[in-house]
Each structure stands twice: as structure tokens, then as C-alpha cells.
Structure 1
Amino acid sequence: MGIIIVFSLRRFFNHRFYLWTILAVFRLLLVFTHELITSSILVIKQVTRPKINVTPGIFKLETELEGDIEITLLSLLITLTPGSVVMELAPNNKILYVHAMDIPESSDAVKKSVKIFEKAIKDVTRYV
């Protein structure tokens, strides 16, 4: 009942209804869990092959995120995803250098995951 009253009075407040932020956090956790499972399966496939044929390397990854919290959260999510590690952040805070276990497979998967992560992070951190 209280949420309904607060929801009906939300137009008098300057910021977004807090329940939407809580839902955005749960969505971010679901997105991360999905990417974690997907990348874990990819790493397991690569490691359990009789002959390990991986091409490790570093690639540049541009981001649209702006704040320190957003970039830190993105870096942590990428690093916690198996097969990839954020090594460095460019001085302009727009380019991440990522080490991937297998560049041909992992770089495209990481770039796709980053776009999904960025959208979910923006939903959590921005009030517009």
C-alpha cells in the first residue's frame, strides 16, 4: 500500500521512482549471471579440448560510460567474466584495454557483452 502511495506522489519528487532503480539492479544482476554462465561454458569448451588452440591477446574497447562508478563497475563486470581481464584504462576514461583468452572468439563476445552491460549500468546509475 505504501509503494502505491509513494508511486502516485512521485511527480512531486525531482528524481526517478526508487523502485525502478531496484528493478534495474536486479536486471543488471541477471544480465551478469547470464554472461557469466555463457562465458564459463566458452572457457570450459576451450580448456577441455584435446589440443588447446587459443590465441590470447589484448584489444581496445571503447565505452560510452562517463562516471568513475560506471567505468569501475563495467571494468569489474568484464574482469569477473571468465576469459577476459581489464588491464588498463586510457587517461580519457573512454578506452579500456582488455586481455582475452582467445581473441577470435572472445573479443566479439566481450564487445557484445559490454554493450549489454553498459545499458544495464546506465539504467542503474542515471536518473533520466
Structure 2
Amino acid sequence: MIYFFKGFGVFARRFIARHSYFGPYGGSKHNSRLIKETSDYSWEVRDKSGNIMYYIDGSELNRSNWLRFVNCPNTVSQENLISFMFHGDIFYLAIRNITVGEELMVYYGHNYAKRLGVDTTLFR
């Protein structure tokens, strides 16, 4: 096991090499935008044209997995994971080496970050 939970967040229990990946993100698939607007644990899944196919909602503990506990960074320097879609599922990829004890952080997107009060101008 390479992670442990400490309150809300996921912290590396051992060294995680750049290009390591985790997933898929667990949750229920929904077609309703209401899920995206009401759940802090949902991801949009888009087709090749950029259209939303469905949402993966990880808010239910018994239908999700530990990836739901990975937090959004407040600064670009804290970000050590990126999300990506593969075969209709969401995965996280380490974009740099992650040291023991470091919190795993993935950027959730501008809309969510703005709700948290994060300055989104520096994020991609």
C-alpha cells in the first residue's frame, strides 16, 4: 500500500515515481448535470469531440475508492498528479516524484478551484 488517509487527504506512505498512475476513479455514472453541481466528488467524462458523456460521482463511500480523498492544490507547486481519461474512466498520473509523507494533489478544474477561493490564473 502506498497511501494512508489522514483526515481528508491522501499522503504517500512510500516513494511514488513520476509517471506512476492510479485508478480508475470509483463511483456511480450519471447523466445528470445536477450531480456535477451538487457533488464535490464528481468528474466529467467527455468524448473525443469534447461533449460530456456522463459524470462519475464518488460521493458514496460504498461505490467509490480512495481516489475521492485526493485534494485539490492551492498552488501550482503543490500539484503532483494530473487527471486523465482512458476508456471512459478517470485516472491520476504522477507528474513528478512524490516523497514519503507528501500529500497527493490533483487539480479539479477552474470552476471547483474558484469555489475554494484558489487563484486559477496560474493553472493550465
TM-score by length of structure 1 reads 0.28
Whichever of the two has the greater Rg, that structure is: 1
Greater per-residue strand proportion:
2
Greater per-residue helix proportion:
1
